[in-house]
């Protein structure tokens, strides 16, 4: 609701430009079957997640960070760089495919 009421009476919503979601799970199923990509596909979700996680590291270190995307490193802060990849617990490894 807009105040004063006159502003509400003058308001008209913008035109719908994005299609409505058919639901997160249904979008995923359709994309898995070869349909259009889901709204939260990896091309969108991965960079957004990377940005949020780097923001968390910047908050923790209270530093301005430079991100080397190609090498997945923070070249200007060894302290922040240690937070990028944690050591695995004893006996655990991640094998590359």
CA atoms in the 13 A half-sphere facing the CB of 30: 14
**Per-residue pLDDT, 73:** 92
Does residue 47 fall inside a structural domain? yes
Q: How many angstroms separate the CA atoms of 42 and 21, rounded?
A: 17
- The domain total for the chain is 1
Q: What phi, psi does 3 have (nearest 5°)?
A: -120, 140
Per this entry, what is the length of the chain? 97
Q: Is residue 27 part of a domain?
A: no
Number of other residues whose CB lies within 10 A of the CB of residue 6: 9
Q: Which domain range does residue 62 map to?
A: 38-85
* 24 within a domain of the structure (yes/no): no
Give the pLDDT score at 95. 76
Tell me whether residue 1 is in a domain. Answer: no
The pLDDT value given to residue 22: 92
pLDDT tens over the chain, length 97 residues: 888 899 999 999 899 888 888 998 999 999 999 998 888 778 888 889 999 999 999 999 999 999 998 998 999 999 999 998 877 788 888 776 5
Within-domain flag for 96: no
In a domain, 80, yes or no: yes
Q: Is residue 50 part of a domain?
A: yes
Helical spans, DSSP H, in the chain: 5-10, 24-32, 42-61, 78-81
């Amino acid at each position: 609701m807009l105040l004063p009421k006159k502003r509400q009476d003058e308001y008209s919503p913008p035109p719908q430009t994005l299609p409505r979601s058919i639901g997160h799970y249904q979008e995923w199923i359709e994309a898995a079957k070869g349909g259009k990509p889901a709204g939260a596909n990896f091309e969108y979700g991965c960079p957004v997640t990377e940005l949020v996680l780097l923001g968390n590291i910047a908050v923790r270190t209270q530093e301005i960070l430079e991100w080397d995307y190609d090498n997945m490193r923070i070249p200007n802060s060894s302290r922040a760089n240690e937070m990028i990849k944690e050591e695995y617990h004893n006996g655990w490894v991640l094998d590359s495919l």
